[in-house]
């Protein structure tokens, strides 16, 4: 996986600033979210594993936004266009922002492999956690442990993340291999 050689994001280090367009026509700059805990989810319109979490992320948006947590989904897939993403957002009643990473430059900086693949940043934009949302897998569709909520609750309480990495599962990010 040659793209992993471009990974710049490491646990405990500040994440480089980036700007991406959102599907609602706005622009999102990571540095505008300093001071907040930020969850970044690599998302896909076509991946069934990613779709399993749409309702969870809508709920997270409701329950953690009032605590100051920001949620961003990023789609880096090169195999469909913005209209398809908008159609899927409407069909799945998605309320969280989806940013478009054409050319997968941000996915490469983060080393995002799957959809979903989450990254949690502390208020200073340092990476606190990366990996799976919970212990769900292709064969285990009923998770018993939610890693993401444990990480968020610890950070909100001013404590370190209880873990920094859990292996993500899902569909691969369908990269554009043009450089």
The answer to whether the bond into 171 is cis (omega within 30° of 0) is no
State the burial class of residue 178 (Cβ atoms within 10 Å of its Cβ: 0-12, 13-18, 19+). exposed
Cα distances (angstroms) measured from residue 129 to each of 13, 63, 100, 136, 140: 11, 20, 22, 17, 22
pLDDT for position 5: 73
User: How much is the pLDDT for 6?
Assistant: 77
Residue 175: its pLDDT value, please? 87
Q: What's the rounded Cα separation, in Å, for the pair 61 and 56? A: 9
- Residues found in the chain: 179
* Residue that is written with structure tokens 């953690």 in the block: 64
What span, in angstroms and rounded, lies between the C-alpha atoms of 121 and 124?
Answer: 8
Residue-wise pLDDT tens for the chain (179 aa)?
566 677 889 999 999 999 999 999 999 999 999 999 999 999 999 999 999 999 999 999 999 999 999 999 999 999 999 999 999 999 999 999 999 999 999 999 999 999 999 999 999 999 999 999 999 998 888 999 999 999 999 999 999 999 999 999 999 999 876 54
C-alpha distances (whole Å) from 120 to each of 9, 10, 15, 91, 128 are 11, 11, 10, 27, 6
pLDDT of residue 176: 79
Q: What is the pLDDT of residue 1?
A: 58
């Amino acid at each position: 996986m040659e793209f992993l050689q471009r990974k710049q994001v490491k646990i405990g280090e500040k994440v480089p600033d980036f700007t991406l367009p959102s599907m609602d026509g706005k622009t999102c700059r990571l540095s505008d979210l300093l001071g907040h805990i930020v969850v970044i989810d690599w998302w896909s319109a076509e991946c069934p594993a990613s779709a399993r979490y749409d309702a969870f992320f809508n709920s997270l948006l409701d329950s953690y936004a009032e605590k100051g947590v920001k949620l961003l989904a990023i789609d880096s897939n090169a195999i469909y266009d913005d209209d398809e993403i908008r159609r899927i957002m409407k069909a799945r009643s998605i309320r969280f922002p989806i940013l478009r990473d054409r050319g997968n430059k941000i996915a490469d900086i983060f080393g995002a492999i799957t959809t979903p693949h989450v990254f949690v940043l502390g208020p200073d934009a340092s990476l606190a956690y990366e990996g799976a949302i919970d212990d769900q897998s292709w064969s285990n569709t009923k998770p018993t442990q939610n890693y993401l909520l444990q990480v968020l609750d610890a950070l909100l309480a001013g404590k370190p993340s209880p873990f920094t990495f859990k292996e993500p599962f899902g569909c691969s990010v369908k990269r554009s291999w043009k450089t």
